[in-house]
């Protein structure tokens, strides 16, 4: 596991966690915002009118209405990124991470406008008569770079598992296990069967399911989240102040949270923002390409609404729930996951200022006196015996650690190699928590009490399941581009199996895989739309000329 983790971390360092990635992503949005004169502001009202069908023309080609295309795309974006992803960003980068999620969304509204417009313009029809589109067709037809289109399509298939399938299944399973005690393999099995029923029914069934689920789940989550915010209203303004004030300095240590540098908060905020709204990733254009319109720019305008709904509204609500409730800096009893557990040399505590500073340096990848521990740890009836080591879990000093299950505590010797415990044992204790578990805990801090967990579990189920459905559509459109419709059924069956096995996997490992696969799609897509900047500007000018002439 440790070697596999190092391999994944290496690729993550080349892609999403690389220094250049957030600058490329945000920079593209900033460039097009200036180049196209702030369409996310000046086209916003027009976008709502297009969505309502005010400018629809009879006989336009497409498989879905503007609303259906938008809800399909939103079902792909409004998922675990909004519940678990925001929590994970705050867990890693503190309040500052939310600020950079906002920036990713604001400038991402323009990036989404560009990528959707171009993908709709270069869409095609498959051999079954359905519309197919996406950045791969833009790369092939618009840039005459089919090899780049093939790379993007392969990345889309891989990412359909890495970001659309596995994190959704894993977060649902973890959420239901923590709330209702349902074993993760049962959740994975039942939902895999339901997923099979939906996606094996084809494109039209996928679109209809998304159209029904998205509005319902968004309203339920929004109302419940507001209840938590109002219950902690006195903490909302201080939380917003921290979000903005920490944006360019990083977040200081507070409570069990050991702090994050500016660079770390910036990178994680931008990365989680991308995972949440997918602006620049090239996924949503695949759904929007099916919209019934002969004006690509009109569908591009509809897509402007996605990052606004997804991140500016829903992710902000999640962030305020977590920050105002204070749960992000509290330690909670949980079962430790191997991927997040690390043993370091020396005895350290987060209550001592000097120790906190050393731990800060260690966790943020800087030179530190703290080194990974190598050796053995003695355990007697589940209790770790004192020694020259400290157990860290979830970027915090673990407390009240017990080894073994409740009915069978472990006694013996644990072998630690490069900070990793090599024994196959169960560890529980108090530490920071993240992802869906953190959001779930935050939702209990209102009049709902523990019932808040049930709301999060239900909404997470709907959010994540609809995301998995939408991403199966993205993946099968990429499969059609690569090898034709004959391979759709094998792909869909493999997708269902992946959904089952991800339910029992390690959560942080799943997030790392997601980060890598998202960047794998995003980089070639951003390069493609930058190369087509002049064509995009002309396409927008032509749209407004035709629009004015028809009025």
Domain architecture of the chain: domains with CATH:
59-330+442-550 (1.20.1740.10), 332-431 (no CATH)
Residues 6+ apart with CB under 8 A from 363: 258, 392, 395
- pLDDT category at 322 given cuts 50, 70, 90 is very high
Answer yes or no: are the C-beta atoms of 227 and 321 closer than 8 Å: no
pLDDT greater than 90 at residue 80: no
In the three-class reduction of DSSP (H, G, I as helix; E, B as strand; rest coil), residue 192 is classed as helix
- pLDDT category at 2 given cuts 50, 70, 90 is low
What single DSSP character describes residue 336? P
What single DSSP character describes residue 294? S
- Residue 322 is encoded by which pair of tokens? 């977590």
How many Cα atoms are found within 13 Å in the side-chain-facing hemisphere of 59? 0
Please give the full DSSP string across 37-64, using - where no structure is assigned: T-HHHHTHHHHHHHHTTTT--TT---SB
Residues in the chain: 551
Residues 449-453: contacts with CB within 8 Å, 24+ apart?
Answer: 452/224, 452/228, 453/178, 453/179
Q: What is the mean pLDDT of residues 398-425?
A: 93
Q: Which residue has the tokens 């994050």?
A: 260
Higher pLDDT, 432 or 280: 432
Q: What is the CA radius of gyration of the chain?
A: 23
- pLDDT category at 203 given cuts 50, 70, 90 is low
Cα 123 from Cα 297, distance rounded (Å)? 13
Cα 205 from Cα 469, distance rounded (Å)? 10
Cα 295 from Cα 501, distance rounded (Å)? 42
pLDDT greater than 90 at residue 51: no
How many CB atoms sit inside 10 A of residue 57's CB?
11
pLDDT of 17 reads 73
Give the whole-number percent of the chain exceeding pLDDT 70.
93
pLDDT greater than 90 at residue 491: yes
How many CB atoms sit inside 10 A of residue 235's CB?
16
Among 74-78, 353-357, 419-423, the least confident range? 74-78
Q: What is the mean pLDDT of residues 45-71?
A: 79
**Residues 96-151: pLDDT tens digits?**
999 999 999 999 999 999 999 999 999 988 777 778 889 999 999 999 999 999 99
Instruction: Work out the mean pLDDT of the chain and round it to a whole number.
Output: 87
Answer yes or no: are the C-beta atoms of 96 and 247 closer than 8 Å: yes
Higher pLDDT, 83 or 283: 283
Crossing angle (nearest 10°) for helices 435-442 and 316-325: 70
Element (H, E) at 383: strand 383-384
Answer yes or no: are the C-beta atoms of 321 and 228 closer than 8 Å: yes
In the three-class reduction of DSSP (H, G, I as helix; E, B as strand; rest coil), residue 260 is classed as strand
Cα 315 from Cα 294, distance rounded (Å)? 33
pLDDT of 329 reads 95
Q: What is the mean pLDDT of residues 50-76?
A: 75
Higher pLDDT, 399 or 287: 399
Cα 134 from Cα 287, distance rounded (Å)? 8
**Residues 104-117: pLDDT tens digits?**
999 999 999 999 99
Q: What is the mean pLDDT of residues 85-89?
A: 86
pLDDT of 276 reads 72
Cα 483 from Cα 493, distance rounded (Å)? 16
Q: What is the mean pLDDT of residues 356-362?
A: 92
Please give the full DSSP string across 109-155, using - where no structure is assigned: HHHHHHHHHHHHHT-EE-TTS-EE-SHHHIIIIIS--HHHHHHHHHH
**Residues 368-388: pLDDT tens digits?**
889 999 999 999 999 999 999
pLDDT greater than 90 at residue 428: yes
Q: What are phi and psi of 134, to 5 degrees?
A: 140, 175
pLDDT greater than 80 at residue 157: yes
Among 18-32, 296-310, 418-432, 455-469, the least confident range? 455-469
pLDDT of 383 reads 96
């Amino acid at each position: 596991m440790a070697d596999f983790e190092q391999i994944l971390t290496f690729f993550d360092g080349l892609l999403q966690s690389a220094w250049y990635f957030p600058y490329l992503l945000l920079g593209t949005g900033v460039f097009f915002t200036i180049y196209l004169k702030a369409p996310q502001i000046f086209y916003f009202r027009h976008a709502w009118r297009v969505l309502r069908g005010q400018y629809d023309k009879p006989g336009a080609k497409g498989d879905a209405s503007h609303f259906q295309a938008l809800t399909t795309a939103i079902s792909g974006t409004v998922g675990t990124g909004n519940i678990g992803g925001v929590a994970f960003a705050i867990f890693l980068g503190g309040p500052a991470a939310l600020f950079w999620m906002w920036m990713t969304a604001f400038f991402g509204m323009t990036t989404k406008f560009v990528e959707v417009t171009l993908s709709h313009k270069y869409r095609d029809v498959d051999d079954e008569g359905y519309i197919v589109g996406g950045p791969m067709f833009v790369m092939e037809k618009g840039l005459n770079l089919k090899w780049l289109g093939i790379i993007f399509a392969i990345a889309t298939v891989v990412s359909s598992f890495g970001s659309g399938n596995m994190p959704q299944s894993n977060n649902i399973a973890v959420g239901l296990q923590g709330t209702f005690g349902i074993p993760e393999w049962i959740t994975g099995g039942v939902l895999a069967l339901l997923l099979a029923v939906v996606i094996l029914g084809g494109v039209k069934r996928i679109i209809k399911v998304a159209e029904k689920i998205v509005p319902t789940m968004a309203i339920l989550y929004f109302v419940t989240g507001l209840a938590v915010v109002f219950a902690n209203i006195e903490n909302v303004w201080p939380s917003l102040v921290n979000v903005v004030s920490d944006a360019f300095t990083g977040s200081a240590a507070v409570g069990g949270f050991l702090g994050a540098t500016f660079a770390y908060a910036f990178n994680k905020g931008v990365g989680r923002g991308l995972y949440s709204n997918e602006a620049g990733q090239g996924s949503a254009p695949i759904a929007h390409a099916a919209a019934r319109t002969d004006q690509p720019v009109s569908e591009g305008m509809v897509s402007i609404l996605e990052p606004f709904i997804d991140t500016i509204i829903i992710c902000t609500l999640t962030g305020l729930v977590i920050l105002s409730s204070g749960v992000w800096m509290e330690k909670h009893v949980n079962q430790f996951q191997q991927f997040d557990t690390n043993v370091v040399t020396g005895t350290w505590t987060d209550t001592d200022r000097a120790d906190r500073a050393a731990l800060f340096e260690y966790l943020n990848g800087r030179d530190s006196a703290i080194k990974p521990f190598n050796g053995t740890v003695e355990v007697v009836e589940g209790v770790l015996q004192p020694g020259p080591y400290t157990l860290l879990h979830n970027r915090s000093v673990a407390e009240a650690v017990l080894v073994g299950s409740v009915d069978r505590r472990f006694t013996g010797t644990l072998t630690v190699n490069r900070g990793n415990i090599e024994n196959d044992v169960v560890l529980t204790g108090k530490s920071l928590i993240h992802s869906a578990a953190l959001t779930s805990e935050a939702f209990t801090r209102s009049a709902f009490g523990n019932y808040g967990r049930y709301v999060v579990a239900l909404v997470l189920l709907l959010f994540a399941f609809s995301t998995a459905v939408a991403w199966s559509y993205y993946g099968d459109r990429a499969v059609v581009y690569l090898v034709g419709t004959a391979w759709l059924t094998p792909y869909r069956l493999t997708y269902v199996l992946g959904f089952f096995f991800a339910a029992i996997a390690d959560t942080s490992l799943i997030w790392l895989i997601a980060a890598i696969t998202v960047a794998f799609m995003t980089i070639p897509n951003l390069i493609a739309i930058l190369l087509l900047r002049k064509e995009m500007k002309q396409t927008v000018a032509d749209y407004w000329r035709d629009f004015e002439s028809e009025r």
